[in-house]
Amino acid sequence: MFMRSLVIVALSAAALPLLARAEGPGLGRPASPDEIAAWDISIGPEGAGLPPGRGTAQQGAAIFAAKCAVCHGEKGAGKPNDQLVAGVGSLAGDAPVKTVGSFWPYATTIFDYVRRAMPLPAPKSLSNDEVYALTAYLLQQNGIIGDTEVIDASSLPKVRMPNRDGFVPFARTR
């Protein structure tokens, strides 16, 4: 008898989450594939998820002047908001200058971040070509690529950032 009630308790505990899901709160509707796609825009460090499109630093320069310089300064020199250019090699010294060029370990993050968050007043307003061009521009201004190099889904993951090895792995022991 004891064993049988134990089995019943175990079964009903397993069935609870299923029941809860089947009943549900009766709110909302499933997100459509288009709605999910609009939010599912994360780019992996190795470039997974990069969309079609391309751009060069030359193209990016004009876009930067029009849409970014007001907050990030001419050529990304900073002020009133974050400095985006220079400081490469300065982090270990007495006057570290933390920028996209000096600090970020993966070039692919520039695409991800600019596409999802910038320009600040109108995030997600840039086309993929514009984001590639701006990414190329920031890389070129930081001396990491040349001004005619084409940045796209295949070339961007191959760009090696100067501070790629500047992070110390933290061994989690739980």
Residues making contact with ligand HEC (CB under 6 A):
67-68, 70-72, 81-82, 84, 99-100, 110, 113-114, 118-121, 134
In the complex, the smallest distance separating the C-beta of residue 157 from ligand HEC, rounded to whole angstroms, is 18
Query: Please, what is the minimum distance in Å from the beta carbon of residue 131 to ligand HEC?
Result: 8
- Cβ closest to ligand HEC, residue 29 vs residue 161: 161
Least separation in angstroms between CB 139 and ligand HEC = 11
Gap between the Cα atoms of 106 and 153, Å rounded: 14
Least separation in angstroms between CB 153 and ligand HEC: 18
Distance of CA 169 to the CA centre of its chain: 20
124 vs 160 by CB, closer to ligand HEC = 124
Return the number of the residue (107 or 118) whose C-beta is nearest ligand HEC: 118
| Torsion angles phi and psi, residue 67, rounded to 5 | -120, -10
Which position has the token pair 């596409």? 115
For 160, half-sphere exposure in the C-beta direction (CA atoms, 13 angstrom radius) is 4
DSSP run (H or E) holding 151: strand 151-152
Residue 167, amino acid: F
